[in-house]
A = this chain, B = another copy of it.
Amino acid sequence: MLELNRLIGALALGALSLSAQAVEWQALPSKAPEPANNPSTPAKVELGKMLYHEVRISSNGVLSCNSCHNVMGGGDDNRAGSIGVKNQVGGRSAPTVWNAAFSSVQFWDGRAPSLEAQAKGPVTNPGEMGMKSWDDVVARLKAMPEYTKAFALAFGSEDSVTADNAAKAIAAYERTLITPNSAYDKFAKGDKSALNEQQVRGMETFAELGCVGCHSGPAFNGPQLPEGTGFYQKFPAIENGVFEAKYGFMADLGRYEATKDQADKHLFKVPTLRNIALTAPYFHNGKVTTLEEAVRVMGKLQLNKDLTESQAADIASFLNSLTGEFPKIEMPRLPAYANKAFPTE
């Protein structure tokens, strides 16, 4: 861990500036990795889709996973803080669900070692979907016989309506939420006309400045580590009074909130840059609204470099080329809630 932190420190100071030619630009795989204990099947993905769009697993029956991670859009909610069941505003900006399958840990602080573990969190978070317990969630699901059937199809038993299986199904659905064939991907695969001049310039600047030190790999979120092992970075790496006064990034202690380990103060998971043009506002607290300003902030706080307007614009233009192709998704059919009224809190 110490070694990794030392490496991170070096990266933060721009020690890994590279020419664009030296960087291995990787296209997004067309399939996400699957853990050995949760291989994807069509029945599991279908159930996961139902659960992902199921408002009845929130306490007031209004919110679903999709409310904050909207797959009809950029996979988030374009907010600084998401809205929970009692209209509470969450403390961190919702990360995108698109390509989350390429992250080895989940949440800004990496506290969930897998998509499966992540899926269980918001449902019973009082500030998010507000269910009292997963037992209550399971009871609600069991009140709809079609869910029992869908779980049986996915998990091979009539007795399979459980929190673990719900999480596995949701994770399996999320592993289908990937966006290949961006302009960048086409370029990386050899179609040199896929990016325009400004985007190529931005790509080169992105490499030369050292952004690629952390935002590497096919998802631009760092090296591909085993599931459960996170790739973190201190943010801000370099304290800066002007930016801090403006954006208050340091109010959030990051991974420390999850581990209480002093060494984790202000560490955050390096997030994917895929579809970043769609997921404003930026950073864990969503205080920065434009991509250009986000780029300038990163330059100063992570690399100690004052980017020119044209450098920031070029990089932002390059980042726009990371918007991928969104697969067509058929809406799930949700089970009937027959002969009952949904409880109103």
Contacts and interface: CB of A to CB of B under 8 A. Distances in A.
A330 B330 contact: yes
Contact of A61 (B79, B326, B331): B79
B291 A339 contact: yes
A332 B72 contact: yes
Given A78-B342, A280-B341, A329-B331, A70 B55 contact: yes
Nearest to A287: B341
Nearest to A343: B79
B277 A336 contact: yes
Interface in A327-345: 328-342, 344
A77 B344 contact: no
Nearest to A337: B78
Interface string A67-84: 100111110011111010
A289 interface: yes
A87 interface: yes
Contacts of A313: none
A337 B280 contact: yes
A53 interface: yes
A180 interface: no
12 contacts: A55-B67, A62-B62, A62-B67, A72-B334, A73-B335, A278-B338, A280-B340, A286-B341, A289-B339, A326-B333, A328-B330, A330-B331
Interface of A: 53, 55, 60-63, 67, 70-74, 77-81, 83, 86-87, 89, 277-278, 280-281, 286, 289-291, 326, 328-342, 344
Given A74-B336, A326-B333, 6 more contacts: A60-B87, A72-B332, A73-B334, A87-B87, A278-B336, A281-B340
